[in-house]
Structure 1
Amino acid sequence: MSDPDDAPRGYASPPCLAHEQDPGFFDPLATDSRQARDVARWRRAERERLLARRRALSAAQRARIARAASEHLSRLLSDRFGTLKGRAIAAYWPIKGELDLRASMARWHEAGAFVALPVVERKAAPLAFRRWTPATRMVRGVWNIPSPPPDAAPLVPEIALAPLVGWALDADGAAWRLGYGGGYLDRTLAALAPRPFAIGVGLAAARLSTILAQPHDVPLDAIVTEEGIAGEGP
């Protein structure tokens, strides 16, 4: 039986797939090009290892993990923001075995939040965000990723969720994300003002001792996994 998470769906997903377009991707903004290439090579290997581990989970295992993570996420949002009514929250829809938060997205919408999904409007540029509702009809965007249509309302998120391939906490408790390698989230967080409260969502088993943070990397405010909340900012 095929994995239902791999079946085609009409939903948006995190547009951070530049590594699949260019396997030799590295960030030229790093201070040393050789170091940047070494880090990029190490990250590719870790990314492949972690993605393979995630793919090995059954659909039932992923569903249990996602439910547990969703409960921790709800607690974090409630403690930090109280009500979500009237707040803009950027989410994602799952691909490649990412934790499925669609039920939470629907609840946030019903509770009066403005739910957004990320969209690549220009390559190698910060993401845009368009409003999503359960009735939104998706269109194919960059790299054939389904997204809210161009006439969907643009939003600036107060809260931004990002799926994790891997994650790490440094000695000061700062939370770092290993993503798919395109750099879109870092560009977006660096460009948005005010910056949204950024939360990484992923597996507890995807924790690394470090991501070898580079000058372009932007830390998150918190990490949520099925085991709880880590690195919560002030």
Structure 2
Amino acid sequence: MQPRQQIRQTIRHARRQLSRKQQTEAAQKVAARFMALPDVMNAQRIALYLSFDGELDTQPVIKACWQAEKNVYLPVIHPFSHGHLLFLQYHPHTRMRINRYGISEPTLDIRTLTPSSKLDVIATPLVAFDADGQRLGMGGGYYDRTLGLCAPNSTAIGLAHDCQHWHPLPSEQWDMPLSHILTPSQHWHWPA
């Protein structure tokens, strides 16, 4: 097995072992950190994602953004451009569908589409991260491609559990490091 796949299996197992109480407390702490970031306070268009497979629960962040009157966007797998994401505005009553990975996403409606280059903040899911701002995703490259198109206009923020820290992560030339990673106990930051 390749090192990246071993790391993915180890970390995914660790985060699935967190209790409901640990998940809830972690999500609340990260939401508070997220909303306190100047980049978030000054943002109007924030891309988030719906948690899956033990990822840090993003519902508290989404609700906090709505309460702060921020526009929230969720990723949708691009129907024609393989490996790319679209971002659609998300409200409590947005019609949803399940994508090919079993993840809930908004039903495609171009009226709610925002170009990724217009997003102020992009919160990214991740499997693991290291002390240099590298993230390890699920291996599809969706967020690396998105961040490559959005830099330097958007602030990239990884949301994670503390158990997802791994050092050092193997990296490839196409891997896009993050500006911030927020965990329940720490705010990791790498100035641009």
TM-score (norm 1): 0.74
Measure how far apart 1:72 and its partner are: 1.4
8 Å Cα contact 1:168-1:208 kept in structure 2: yes
Q: Which residue of 2 aligns with 1:102?
A: 59
8 Å Cα contact 1:115-1:132 kept in structure 2: yes
Q: Which residue of 1 aligns with 2:12?
A: 51
From 41, 44, 55, the equivalent of 1:82 is 41
Q: Which residue of 2 aligns with 1:113?
A: 70
From 24, 30, 51, the equivalent of 1:63 is 24
Aligned pairs for 1:182-193 within 5 A: 182-192=140-150
8 Å Cα contact 1:62-1:99 kept in structure 2: yes
1:128 aligns with 2:91: no
Where structure 2 has 5 or more consecutive residues not aligned to the other structure, the ranges are: none
Three-state SS of the structure 1 residue aligned to 2:65 is helix
Q: Which residue of 2 aligns with 1:202?
A: 160
In structure 2, how many angstroms separate the alpha carbons of the residues matched to 1:82 and 1:138? 28
- RMSD of aligned residue pairs (Cα, Å): 1.9
Measure how far apart 1:216 and its partner are: 0.9
Three-state SS of the structure 2 residue aligned to 1:190 is helix
Measure how far apart 1:141 and its partner are: 3.1
Deviations 1:142-171 (A, max 9, x none): 44432112225112321000122110123x
1:229 aligns with 2:187: yes
Measure how far apart 1:177 and its partner are: 0.6
| Number of equivalenced pairs | 187
Measure how far apart 1:200 and its partner are: 0.5
The amino acid that maps onto 2:14 is R
Where structure 1 has 5 or more consecutive residues not aligned to the other structure, the ranges are: 1-39
Measure how far apart 1:194 and its partner are: 5.1
Q: 1:193 to 1:45 in 2, by over 3 A?
A: closer
Q: Which residue of 1 aligns with 2:176?
A: 218
8 Å Cα contact 1:203-1:226 kept in structure 2: yes
